[in-house]
């Protein structure tokens, strides 16, 4: 890994945490699961977090091919993405961000680990899946709230503590890491079953961490994410979300609807202003 100063690393962290894609659209597709979600089981992520002594160790275990928890290929380039770990904190609330750098100015947040301290040995914790990838209100929470016994909890809540920021960014990764090819969903599940069968965590659709709103965190989304959401409704209509585009196929009507984000840049007295609007096109399904 090339040498770099702590100032440069901090600058990249600051940019990526506040950056979000200039591309947005007026169409929201809420899905319970996604193709990308199959590449990172958040219950397995929670187990790695529980067992780690600090966030540096957590980041390393998250990206260890021998452990096999990370199988993400968000930009569909045939290589597993590196997930870096960053953190924001305010008072007794911490938001730990799992983020994939996909370009120099392209970042996709995958999930956040949210922890708050309510009192002596009293903590709330949850993993929140990014809505683009995991759908709305997808949380992983402990079955029994005894998080104060985890080694990483006293580490992030020690009196003199600076929020963690990974030294890695796009094109600059640890020497021990190298990309590898993602495996099939079946193989991936066999790799993570030792984590997902422990019954330490469960899926919930209700938040249990309430004070994270104090933390200055805004999720980043990348237009380079090619595989985001693919879900079938009732076995009929299929909705696919790709980078900047939503496709809906309805076999009952034989129609295919495509919604694309149309970006327009206009000059203002303060410079340039970019807006994105949704453009909807409906067509009959081509006949074979």
Q: Which tens digit of pLDDT belongs to each residue from 24-64?
A: 333 233 333 567 889 999 999 999 999 999 999 999 999 99
7, part of any domain: no
Same domain for 249 and 182: no
| Percentage, residues of the chain above pLDDT 90 | 51
Spatial separation of the C-alpha atoms in residues 110 and 36, rounded to whole Å: 9
Work out the number of other CB atoms within 10 angstroms of the CB of residue 50: 20
Q: What is the pLDDT of residues 199-246, one digit of tens each?
A: 899 999 999 998 888 888 888 888 777 644 444 444 444 444 444 444
Mean pLDDT of 254-260: 55
Q: Are residues 201 and 108 in the same domain?
A: yes
Model confidence over 71-113: pLDDT tens digits?
999 989 999 999 999 999 998 999 999 999 999 889 999 999 9
Using CA atoms, how far residue 259 sits from 71, 238, 256, in Å, is 29, 14, 10
Position 12 confidence tier, pLDDT thresholds 50, 70, 90: low
pLDDT of residue 235: 47
Domains in the chain, number: 2
- pLDDT over 70 percentage in the chain: 66
Which of 44, 8, 84 has the alpha carbon at shortest distance from 191?
44
In a domain, 235, yes or no: no
Last residue of a domain, one of 166, 194, 214: 214
Domain presence at residue 225: no
pTM for this entry: 0.71
Would the pLDDT of 263 be above 60? Answer: no
Residue 32 and residue 59: Cα distance in Å, rounded? 26
Phi, psi for residue 179 in degrees, rounded to 5: -70, 155
State residue 41's pLDDT score. Answer: 96
Look at residue 81 and tell me if it is in a domain: yes
* pLDDT for residue 256 is more than 90: no
Q: Which domain holds residue 272?
A: 244-284
* 187 and 276 belong to one structural domain: no
């Amino acid at each position: 890994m090339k040498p770099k100063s702590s100032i440069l690393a901090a600058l990249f962290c600051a940019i990526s945490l506040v950056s979000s894609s200039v591309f947005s659209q007026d169409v929201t597709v809420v899905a319970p699961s996604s193709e990308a979600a199959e590449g990172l089981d958040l219950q397995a992520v929670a187990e790695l977090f529980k067992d780690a002594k600090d966030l540096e160790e957590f980041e390393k275990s998250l990206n260890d091919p021998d452990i096999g928890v990370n199988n993400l290929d968000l930009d569909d380039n045939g290589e597993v993405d590196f997930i870096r770990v960053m953190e924001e904190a305010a008072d007794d609330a911490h938001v730990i961000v799992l983020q994939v750098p996909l370009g120099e100015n392209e970042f996709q947040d995958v999930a956040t680990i949210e922890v708050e301290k309510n009192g002596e040995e009293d903590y709330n914790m949850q993993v929140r899946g990014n809505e683009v990838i995991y759908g709305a209100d997808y949380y992983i929470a402990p079955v029994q709230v005894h998080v104060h016994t985890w080694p990483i909890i006293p580490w992030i809540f020690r009196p003199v503590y600076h929020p963690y920021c990974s030294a890695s960014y796009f094109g600059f990764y640890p020497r021990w890491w190298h990309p590898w090819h993602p495996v099939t969903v079946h193989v991936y599940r066999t790799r993570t079953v030792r984590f997902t069968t422990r019954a330490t965590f469960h899926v919930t659709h209700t938040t249990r961490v309430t004070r994270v709103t104090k933390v200055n965190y805004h999720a980043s989304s990348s237009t380079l994410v090619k595989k985001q959401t693919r879900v079938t409704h009732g076995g009929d209509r299929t909705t696919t979300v790709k980078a900047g585009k939503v496709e809906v196929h309805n076999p009952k009507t034989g129609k295919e609807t495509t919604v694309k984000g149309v970006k327009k840049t206009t000059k203002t007295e303060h410079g340039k202003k970019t807006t994105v609007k949704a453009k909807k096109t409906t067509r009959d399904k081509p006949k074979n």
